[in-house]
């Protein structure tokens, strides 16, 4: 082993002529893909986030079912369906967001990331896109189940196409994953990280939740003029996503150094 390590350290790496000018050929895209692939591989192996998020969402649906079973036959579930759906998704996402940063802190892996020649916003995008993918996977299972349990028997002759609800879910999820990644990074080293994330998450996400719940509600209800209101709400939610993810991008280095 001694001879072999000596060989490794005296042998010049093939890329050394380019490196000796003072830097490696750093590619932000390559680093982004590495972070994303690593998170996906760990999740596929441990299934920690998706399993806990999925089970939690299922539990919330069961509680909804019990509550709505006692609401009487005249209760129009579709009037509050969008709110219930997003409530399940917001609570579920908070579980996943915390988990996504915890395994970075274990064994000092976050420090190893920070010690590598990587721009901090690339870490943010890698983690945020990973969180978005996991959240969308859970939504793919939860949303049809939600429709089946609560809306299949509802009178929805006027409701909009399902893809409109899907758009509201995707726009909402982008904001939840983006801003949530920043907030989870802020809270991960605090004592009550779950509590801290919730305290910061709801007020900051309120404008987005207001817009996407209104958009999804319009699509489900199909009231007169719903298409116009739907797109207005989606535009507002998209603007929120762009603004807040831009701010998260800019602040991420400061948050990590703090």
Partner 1 sequence: MSDINETEFALEVRDVSRTFGARKALNKVSFDLPKGAFLSIFGPNGAGKTTLLRTLSTLTQPSRGSSAKVLGYDVVKDAVELREHIGIISHNSLLYPDLTAQENLEFFAELYCIEHEQERIDELLTAVGLKHRSLDLVRTFSRGMTQRLSIARALLADPEIIFLDEPYSGLDPHAMDILDQLIAQIRDRHTFVMVSHDLEKGLELCSHALILAKGQVVLFKERKDIDKEEFNKVYRETVGLGVS
The contact set with partner 1 (CB under 8 A) reads: 1-2, 4-11, 13-15, 22-27, 30-31, 33-35, 37-38, 41-42, 45-46, 103, 106-109, 111-119, 257
Name which of 35 and 182 has its Cβ closer to partner 1: 35
Task: Please report, in angstroms and rounded to a whole number, the separation of the first and last CA atoms in the chain.
Answer: 41
* 108 vs 192, beta carbon nearer partner 1: 108
Q: Nearest distance from residue 253's CB to partner 1, in Å?
A: 10
- If the CB atoms of residues 129 and 171 are measured against partner 1, the closer one turns out to be 129
Beta-carbon contacts of residue 138 (< 8 Å; ≥ 6 apart): 50, 53, 54, 57, 89, 92, 96
Q: Which is nearer to partner 1, 6 or 76 (CB)?
A: 6
Give the chain's radius of gyration (CA, Å): 22
Contact by Cβ (8 Å): 147, 220: no
Give burial (CB, 10 Å; 0-12/13-18/19+) of 103.
middle
- Give the nearer residue to partner 1 in terms of CB position, either 108 or 161: 108
- As measured in angstroms, the least distance from the Cβ of 180 to partner 1 is 22
In the bound state with partner 1, the residue whose beta carbon lies nearer, of 89 and 127, is 127
Q: Please, what is the minimum distance in Å from the beta carbon of residue 123 to partner 1?
A: 10
The residues, any chain, with a CB within 8 Å of residue 1's CB and separated by 6 or more, are none
CB of 252 to partner 1, least distance (A): 14
Residue 159: what are its φ and ψ, rounded to 5°? Answer: -65, 155
11 vs 155, beta carbon nearer partner 1: 11
Interatomic CA distance for residues 258 and 240, integer angstroms: 25
Residue 107 gets which letter from DSSP?
Answer: G
Q: How far is the CB of 191 from partner 1 (least distance, A)?
A: 16
Query: What is residue 258's three-state secondary structure?
Result: coil
Instruction: Tell me how far, at minimum, the Cβ of 66 lies from partner 1, in Å.
Output: 36
CB of 207 to partner 1, least distance (A): 33
By residue count, the chain amounts to: 258
Name the nearest CA neighbour of 173 among 53, 69, 65, 35.
Answer: 53
């Amino acid at each position: 082993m001694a001879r072999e390590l000596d060989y490794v350290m005296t042998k010049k790496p093939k890329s050394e002529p380019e490196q000796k000018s003072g830097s490696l050929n750093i590619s932000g895209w390559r680093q982004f893909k590495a972070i994303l692939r690593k998170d996906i591989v760990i999740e596929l192996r441990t299934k920690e986030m998706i399993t806990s998020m999925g089970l939690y969402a299922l539990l919330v649906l069961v509680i909804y079912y019990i509550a709505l079973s006692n609401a009487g036959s005249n209760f129009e579930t579709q009037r509050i369906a969008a709110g219930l759906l997003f409530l399940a998704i917001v609570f579920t996402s908070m579980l996943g967001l915390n988990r996504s940063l915890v395994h970075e802190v274990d064994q000092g892996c976050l420090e190893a990331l920070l010690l590598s020649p990587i721009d901090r916003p690339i870490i943010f995008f890698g983690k945020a896109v990973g969180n978005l993918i996991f959240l969308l996977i859970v939504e793919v299972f939860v949303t049809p189940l939600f429709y089946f349990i609560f809306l299949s028997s509802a009178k929805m002759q006027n409701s909009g196409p399902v893809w409109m609800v899907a758009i509201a879910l995707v726009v909402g999820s982008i904001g939840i994953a983006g801003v949530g990644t920043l907030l989870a990074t802020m809270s991960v080293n605090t004592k009550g990280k779950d509590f801290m994330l919730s305290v910061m998450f709801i007020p900051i996400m309120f404008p987005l939740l207001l817009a996407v719940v209104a958009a999804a509600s319009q699509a489900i209800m199909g009231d007169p003029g719903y298409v116009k209101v739907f797109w207005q709400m989606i535009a507002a939610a998209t603007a929120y996503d762009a603004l807040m993810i831009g701010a998260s991008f800019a602040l991420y280095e400061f948050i990590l150094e703090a």
